[in-house]
């Protein structure tokens, strides 16, 4: 049973790394060749599909397939689903005009390519030192970039009055989401800091 679980997790993480590599490559290609404003119409549906698949990570944590904390996993997946479904899908016009949609995808995809690749090598039993360094250091830049981009995409919906056209309460709800981002970002950032300290301390002891 353990070998089946391990094989499944290797496959899941390998496929996920590949899917996010496509997001990263296409975001860069489209932004350079056609312009950042073309990224959303070209990639929205694909990104929505890939990110929705991350619901499996909540299931993995819930049933004990992985040791990832359920609360932080749920919080991160939920915030991204809010962006791809609650913002991008519901307000495509406002999202398409947001200058931070491409930067959000870059932050997400680089983070996920590194994270899923790290998990694959970890499950196999041999993690390259460079990948460990990337996993526990790039978040210093990628998290602020991603969170800022996400917040700006939400703000664009508010600023353009898209939410108010549907319901005034919806606009208030989006303001509330932006407020919640403050403690949420702190929780996720400190979670990564704790992981980084633990891993780096282990590497120093190994020396």
What is the tens place of the pLDDT at every residue in 4-30?
Answer: 999 999 999 999 999 999 999 999 999
Question: What pLDDT is attached to residue 205?
Answer: 59
Question: What pLDDT is attached to residue 1?
Answer: 57
Question: What pLDDT is attached to residue 191?
Answer: 87
Q: How many whole angstroms separate alpha carbon 127 and alpha carbon 101?
A: 32
- Please determine, for residue 204, whether its predicted confidence score (pLDDT) is greater than 70: no
First to last CA, the chain: 35
**CB-CB contact of 105 with 23 (8 Å):** yes
Q: What are the pLDDT digits (tens) for 127-182?
A: 999 999 999 999 999 999 999 999 999 999 999 989 888 889 999 999 999 999 99
Q: What are the pLDDT digits (tens) for 92-135?
A: 999 998 889 999 999 999 999 999 999 999 999 999 999 999 99
- Report yes or no on whether pTM surpasses 0.85: yes
Any idea which residues carry the catalytic annotation?
143, 150
Nearest Cα to Cα of residue 79 among 189, 168, 178: 178
Count up the domains in the chain and report the number: 1
* Range(s) of the domain holding residue 98: 2-206
Angle at 91 between CA 49 and CA 32, to 5 degrees: 65
């Amino acid at each position: 049973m353990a070998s089946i679980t391990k094989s499944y997790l290797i496959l899941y993480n390998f496929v996920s790394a590949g899917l996010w590599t496509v997001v990263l490559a296409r975001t860069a290609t489209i932004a350079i060749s056609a312009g950042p404003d073309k990224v959303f119409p070209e990639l929205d549906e694909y990104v929505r599909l890939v990110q929705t698949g991350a619901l499996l990570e909540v299931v993995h944590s819930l049933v004990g397939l992985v040791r990832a904390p359920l609360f932080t996993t749920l919080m991160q997946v939920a915030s991204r689903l809010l962006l791809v479904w609650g913002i991008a899908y519901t307000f495509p016009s406002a999202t398409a005009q947001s200058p931070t949609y491409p930067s959000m995808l870059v932050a997400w995809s680089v983070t996920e390519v590194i994270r899923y690749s790290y998990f694959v090598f970890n499950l196999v039993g041999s993690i390259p030192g460079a990948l460990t360094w990337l996993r526990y250091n790039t978040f210093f830049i990628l998290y602020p970039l991603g969170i800022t981009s996400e917040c700006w995409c939400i703000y664009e919906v508010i600023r353009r009055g898209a939410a108010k056209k549907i319901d005034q309460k919806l606009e208030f709800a989006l303001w509330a989401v932006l407020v919640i981002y403050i403690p949420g970002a702190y929780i996720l950032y400190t979670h990564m800091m704790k992981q980084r300290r633990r891993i780096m301390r282990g590497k120093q002891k190994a020396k």
